[in-house]
Chains A and B, each alone.
Chain A
Amino acid sequence: DIQMTQSPSSLSASVGDRVTITCRASQSISNYLNWYQQKPGKAPNLLISPPSNLQSGVPSRFNGSGSGTDFTLTISDLQPEDFATYYCQQSYTTPDTFGQGTKLEIK
């Protein structure tokens, strides 16, 4: 199975900050990488699908990049509603696998 490693596991930031979350695959997944946002008690919400496509309704301050094994999610100008947990997921092969998550907290 392909292992997905996210870093950091948690992150403190302030409204207006720019943050970057990284995701590394244990082998090349081309650009088959999804990013999700999850808030407590809710299902994950797809933010970005391959190849770095922003989903409808997702603010442009979210940006995904990378290919091969290394990927990043950048959130610019953090807003209060962005504080949540973020997951990467590879959809290159079965089983699709998730990173362990990055909890973004308000500083």
Chain B
Amino acid sequence: EVQLVESGGGLVQPGGSLKLSCAASGFTFSGSAMHWVRQASGKGLEWIGRIRSRVNGYATAYAATVTGRFTISRDDSKNTAYLQMNSLKTEDTAVYYCRRGVSGSDWGQGTLVTVSA
């Protein structure tokens, strides 16, 4: 059974940093691209970025709204993807999901990030 479990969310002040983790199991993590998607309360889904697999050079891509502030990485030995978020803004407040692949049949349960003073 595929499982994706996000962790690391919480309350952070504007300008602060937070690092989310996405622990994966039940599939060949090293061969999968991993994506991050967020959803503000009562709003729609926003793709944040992705990291490809080793054979694809661990290539990353980001949404314009987070470029330069967020960084996606992965540790294939730990079957874990990460989202490092710096210079956080109040508008970054959302539930953050990790997702396997571009046609996402597998999502985590989400972790809430609240950016507030």
Contact = CB atoms under 8 A, between A and B. Distances in A.
Interface of A is mostly: loop
A78 interface: no
B32 to A, nearest CB: 14
Interface residues of B, number: 19
A30 interface: no
Contacts of A97: 47
Given A43-B97, A43-B108, A43-B110, A98 B103 contact: no
Contact of A98 (B46, B49, B64, B97): B46
Q: How large is the interface on A (under 10, 10 to 19, 20 to 34, 35 or more residues)?
A: 20 to 34
Interface string A66-89: 000000000000000000000101
A105 interface: no
Interface string A25-52: 0000000001010100011101001100
A91 B103 contact: yes
Contact of B107 (A1, A43, A49, A94): A43
A1 B47 CA distance: 12
Contact of B61 (A91, A95, A98, A99): A95
Interface of A: 1, 34, 36, 38, 42-44, 46, 49-50, 55, 87, 89, 91, 94-101
